């Protein structure tokens, strides 16, 4: 790692993730993409290394590292395969950590260790067909039947959906005057149905599924009516993770473009000798370093227990734009080869776009930042 202010532990974790990405992920990424294959064995190997629970406390089976270390891991894994990066980000940041932070001690002890060790996979189910950015418009609801809580509704675009054992789900709660609460659903519960996998532009190695619930038994996570607070705080951290993922994708594109510019000869010399290519690569590296710095700043604030909503939004907004733009320019550097599947540039380009959409669109990030600047006058009636 080239960031001088990282601690020795952070460097070691980042280096471990880098080696794993280079040796175990990158050689298989093209096949996973082509075959739309979820890399179950590689996920299990991540668990054996402690990377599925990087920031989970040791007493719950995790590695006990900080959030900065987690973002370093996400960047390195996403550099090799963004789909696996999404699986890891959703599993840890969105699926496992809400239980760590908001679960009862019994829930923490029962549910978290198998997730942190990679024996099980976690997911996060918030979006519905009519409630994406407007999460408050959800229709899923829970009914009380004796001592049971029964969930009915449909969740859309659930990352890890077809692979998950544990689902953090949000639904309207009669115990909170039909305000949203958070619940936990377990794989195989009655009434839970996999409705189908989304056909996506990129990130083919990740699962994105629609899940139906019909009187499915669930357990409450946190206090009744705290669903939106749990969701929003989870997304605050999740956006930092997506910024790290976007930075990793962009770094992979830069590495590819630099290597190609050194080897590809045109008009008697490597194309890296031409000013147009040099200017492009220089700007690319500078913006990637800026994205990395914004991401680490937000992660350090989170580790310090300080507000990080705006900083996380800034990191995601900028890093996702960097990834989407510069993966396209990497294709340009490679020319015709960049447009083919002989090189991974086109995969990076396809994988990058979603970072501007999930965990809050770029438009939502701008809204969050603007409200931080302008206060109430930025809120629409």
Enumerate residues 6+ apart whose C-beta is below 8 A from 374.
Answer: none
pLDDT at 45 over 70: yes
Beta bridge partners of 183: 169, 220
E strand map for 205-251: 208-221
Provide the annotated active-site residues. 359
Q: How confident is the model at residue 381 (pLDDT cuts 50, 70, 90)?
A: low
Q: Tell me what pLDDT residue 1 has.
A: 41
Among residues 249, 364, 352, 379, which one has the least CA distance to residue 314? Answer: 364
pLDDT at 318 over 70: yes
CATH number (3.30.43.10, 2.40.110.10, 1.10.3720.10, 1.10.357.10) of 122-224 reads 2.40.110.10
pLDDT at 69 over 60: yes
Helix axes 82-89 and 227-263, enclosed angle (nearest 10):
160
Tell me if the pTM is above 0.75. Answer: yes
Residue 165: burial class (beta carbons within 10 Å; 0-12, 13-18, 19+): middle
Give me the percent of the chain exceeding a pLDDT of 70: 98
pLDDT at 160 over 50: yes
Domain 8-116 sits in CATH at: 1.10.540.10
Among residues 23, 123, 7, 25, which one has the least CA distance to residue 72? Answer: 7
Beta bridge partners of 184: 168, 219
Same fold, 8-116 and 229-378: no
Could you read off the pLDDT of 81-108 as tens digits, one per residue? 999 999 999 999 999 999 999 999 999 9
Give the CATH superfamily of 229-378: Butyryl-CoA Dehydrogenase, subunit A, domain 3 (1.20.140.10)
**Spatial separation of the C-alpha atoms in residues 336 and 346, rounded to whole Å:** 11
Q: Is 351 helix (H, G, I), strand (E, B) or coil?
A: helix
Name the one residue in this structure whose structure tokens are 């220089």. 282
Pairing of strands 269-270, 122-125: unpaired
**Spatial separation of the C-alpha atoms in residues 367 and 377, rounded to whole Å:** 12
Residue 133 has which token pair?
Answer: 């950015």
pLDDT at 135 over 80: no
pLDDT at 379 over 80: no
**Spatial separation of the C-alpha atoms in residues 223 and 113, rounded to whole Å:** 22
Helix axes 82-89 and 67-80, enclosed angle (nearest 10):
150
Rg (CA), the chain: 21
**Spatial separation of the C-alpha atoms in residues 81 and 113, rounded to whole Å:** 26
pLDDT at 352 over 70: yes
Q: How confident is the model at residue 3 (pLDDT cuts 50, 70, 90)?
A: low
Give me the percent of the chain exceeding a pLDDT of 90: 94
Mean pLDDT, the chain, whole residue set: 95
Could you read off the pLDDT of 216-251 as tens digits, one per residue? 999 999 999 999 999 999 999 999 999 999 999 999
**Spatial separation of the C-alpha atoms in residues 225 and 346, rounded to whole Å:** 44
**Spatial separation of the C-alpha atoms in residues 181 and 173, rounded to whole Å:** 6
Name the one residue in this structure whose structure tokens are 């406390």. 57
Enumerate residues 6+ apart whose C-beta is below 8 A from 63.
Answer: 13, 50, 51, 53, 54, 55, 56, 69, 116
Domain boundaries, the chain: 8-116, 122-224, 229-378
């Amino acid at each position: 790692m080239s960031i001088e202010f990282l601690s020795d532990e952070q460097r070691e974790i980042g280096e471990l993730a880098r080696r794993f990405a280079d040796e175990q992920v990158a050689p298989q990424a093209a096949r996973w993409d082509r075959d739309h294959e979820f890399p179950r064995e590689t996920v299990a190997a991540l668990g054996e290394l402690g990377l599925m629970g990087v920031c989970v406390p040791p007493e719950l089976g995790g590695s006990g590292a900080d959030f900065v270390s987690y973002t370093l891991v996400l960047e390195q894994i996403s550099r090799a395969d963004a789909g696996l990066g999404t699986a890891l980000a959703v599993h840890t940041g969105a699926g496992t950590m809400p239980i760590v932070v908001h679960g009862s001690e019994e829930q923490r002890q029962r549910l978290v260790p198998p997730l942190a060790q990679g024996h099980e996979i976690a997911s996060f189910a918030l979006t519905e067909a009519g409630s994406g950015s407007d999460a408050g418009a959800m229709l899923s609801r829970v009914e009380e039947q004796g001592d049971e809580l029964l969930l009915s509704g449909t969740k859309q675009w659930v990352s890890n959906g077809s692979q998950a054992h544990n689902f953090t789900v949000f639904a309207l709660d009669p115990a909170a005057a039909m305000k949203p609460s958070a619940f936990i659903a377990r794989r195989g519960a009655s009434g839970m149905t996999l409705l189908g996998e989304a056909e996506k532009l990129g990130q083919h190695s990740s699962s994105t599924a629609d899940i139906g619930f019909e009187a499915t038994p669930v357990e409450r996570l946190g206090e009744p009516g705290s669903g939106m607070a749990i969701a929003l705080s989870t997304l605050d951290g999740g956006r930092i993770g997506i910024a790290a993922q976007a930075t990793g994708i962009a770094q992979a594109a830069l590495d590819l473009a630099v290597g190609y510019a050194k080897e590809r000869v045109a008009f008697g010399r490597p194309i890296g000798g031409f000013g147009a290519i040099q200017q492009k690569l220089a700007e690319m590296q500078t913006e990637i370093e800026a994205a990395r710095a914004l991401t680490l700043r937000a992660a350090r604030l989170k580790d310090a227990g300080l507000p990080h909503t705006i900083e996380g939004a800034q990191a995601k907004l900028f890093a996702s734009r960097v990834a989407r733009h510069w993966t396209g320019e990497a294709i340009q550097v490679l020319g015709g080869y960049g447009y083919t599947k002989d090189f991974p540039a086109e995969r990076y380009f396809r994988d990058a776009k979603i970072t501007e959409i999930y965990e809050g669109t770029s438009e939502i990030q701008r809204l969050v930042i603007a409200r931080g600047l302008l206060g109430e006058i930025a809120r629409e009636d």
